[in-house]
Chain A
Amino acid sequence: EVQLVESGGNLVQPGGSLRLSCAASGFTFNNYAMSWVRQAPGKGLQWVSVISGGGAISYYADSVKGRFTISRDNSKNMVFLEMNSLRGEDTAIYYCARAPILRGIITRGGDFWGPGTLVAVSS
């Protein structure tokens, strides 16, 4: 059974940092790209970042580039999102999702999502 479980969400002050984790099981982890998607309270989905199966390639939304870093540990079947210089507009539920890779394309839509973890940025 495919499982994705996010953790690390918390209340943090503006300008602070946080590291989100996503534990994966039930599939061959390094065969999939992994992405982060967020959803602010009452708002729509926003794509944040994606990392390739081997971890060598990553892409970011303009709104987080330079502040967030995605990484993965294939030996532990985990993907991470390091978030720095957090702002109020980063407040959201953060979902991790696995994305099948086809012909080298890693930005395909996620086919399975975790339940999410809540990040709140406030003083």
Chain B
Amino acid sequence: SYELTQPPSVSVSPGQTARITCSGEALPKKYVYWYHQRSGQAPVLVIYDDDKRPSGIPERFSGSSAGTKATLTISGAQVEDEGDYYCYSTDSSGNRGVFGGGTKLTVL
């Protein structure tokens, strides 16, 4: 079955740039979405269609996708950005959704 691969953890100091990657064979032809989940809360969409930011999401969040790898970048990460980040996309058929395994971001 189709998989999206993320690093288990990323750690940065406050104000630094955090980059979280997501790799998948179908990404050249499928959009990627990024979610932020704080402990005990529902996920929140932070990037959609590879590089678009929903209203209300800070400008420090940006996304890009090239080839089989997508990247979520948090420029000037803040303590409130800590939590788990998940990428989402679909398999090549477009009929099956898939989440990456998640990346725990630590900002300290």
A residues in contact (CB < 8 Å) with B: 35, 37, 44-47, 50, 59, 61-62, 95, 105, 107-116
Contacts and interface: CB of A to CB of B under 8 A. Distances in A.
B33 A109 contact: yes
Contacts of A44: 84, 86, 99-102
Considering residues A37, A61, A109, A116, which has the most beta carbons from chain B within 10 angstroms of its beta carbon? Answer: A109
Interface residues of B, number: 27
A45 B43 contact: yes
Contacts of A107: 90, 94-97
B54 A111 contact: yes
Given A45-B88, A109-B48, A111-B54, 6 more contacts: A47-B99, A50-B97, A62-B1, A95-B42, A110-B45, A112-B45
A114 B41 CA distance: 10
A116 B37 CA distance: 13
A109 B94 CA distance: 12
B61 interface: no
A45 B96 contact: no
Contacts of B35: 45, 109
Contacts of B98: 47
A61 B88 CA distance: 14
Given A45-B35, A61-B96, A109 B45 contact: yes
